Amino acid sequence: MSFFSQALQDVLKQRDWQQKDACAAFDLTTATMSQYIGGSRNPAPKQLSQILNALTPPESAALLVATFRDAIPDDKFRDLVLLTDTTTSETLREEAREQWRSIPIPEDTMRHFETLMNAARTDASLRDLIASLASFVKPEPNEL
């Protein structure tokens, strides 16, 4: 199961939504939603935007971070935490930014990501969410 699929299932459960409710809210077909829920496919940038725009900021953050978690290697995902950790030095944050610039991310998804990063700088709950999702990342060999 993908991280996105699990996060989407969590959102639907929290909202007490059935699949048909999500389809209506996100303007997606039942077949497409089944694939997302089942983890056989993640949304394209356009569909991801439709979903994120229909949710609250914390829900959107959970799905966006899960999308990145599925698509980005562990070492690069670890840099996401550095970008939002206000205790991280500016040097480490800049190194993390450089790492992220090297990843091909669709423009729409990147806009959502930038919104998330800006919000996480001032919203402790979003920072905590990102950190908790990062806990699924395998530790570096030197961190064992």
Any idea where the domains of the chain sit in the sequence?
3-137
Q: What is the dihedral of CA 9, 13, 19, 20, to 10 degrees?
A: -150
Residues 6+ apart with CB under 8 A from 49: 108, 109, 112
Mean pLDDT of 47-61: 88
3-state class of 117 per DSSP? helix
According to DSSP, residue 40 is labeled S
* Mean pLDDT of all residues belonging to the chain: 79
This prediction has a pTM of: 0.68
Q: What is the dihedral of CA 51, 16, 129, 42, to 10 degrees?
A: -40
Do the Cβ atoms of 36 and 8 come closer than 8 Å?
yes
Per-residue pLDDT reduced to its tens digit, 97-143: 777 677 777 777 777 777 777 777 787 877 776 666 555 444 444 44
pLDDT of the residue at 11 = 95
